[in-house]
Structure 1
Amino acid sequence: MVDEDDAIHIEDDDARAASTPGVLRYVLAFSLLFAVIAMSLVWIIPALYG
């Protein structure tokens, strides 16, 4: 059995050797905004000229 007192606890940044700046939320927000604009243009342009 493993003794709980001998467990090694390492912080997240140390274990990954990287930081977590939270850029993913900006990428997701930009992607969503781009998708909404693109889908709107695909619908509006043919409706105006078709």
Structure 2
Amino acid sequence: MDEEVHKNTEEARSGSTPHIVRYVLSISLVLAVVVMGFVLFWGSTQS
């Protein structure tokens, strides 16, 4: 019978896990909120 293999998180991952994705998502979210706020403000001043 095969024995169970237990690996920690670092051993199970095949590569490094940089936090660049977190930064890209955060910056994108902030930019989206700013643009939507600008569109909302611009639309209310035009009518």
Question: Which TM-score applies when normalising by structure 1?
Answer: 0.60
Percentage identity across paired residues of the two chains: 36
Gaps of 5+ in 1: none
Runs of 4+ in 1 over 3 A off after TM superposition: 6-17
Larger of the two Rg values belongs to structure: 1
Matched length: 47
Is residue 2:16 matched to residue 1:23?
A: no
Choose between structure 1 and 2 for higher RCO, CA contacts under 8 A separated by at least 6 residues.
1
Question: Which TM-score applies when normalising by structure 2?
Answer: 0.62
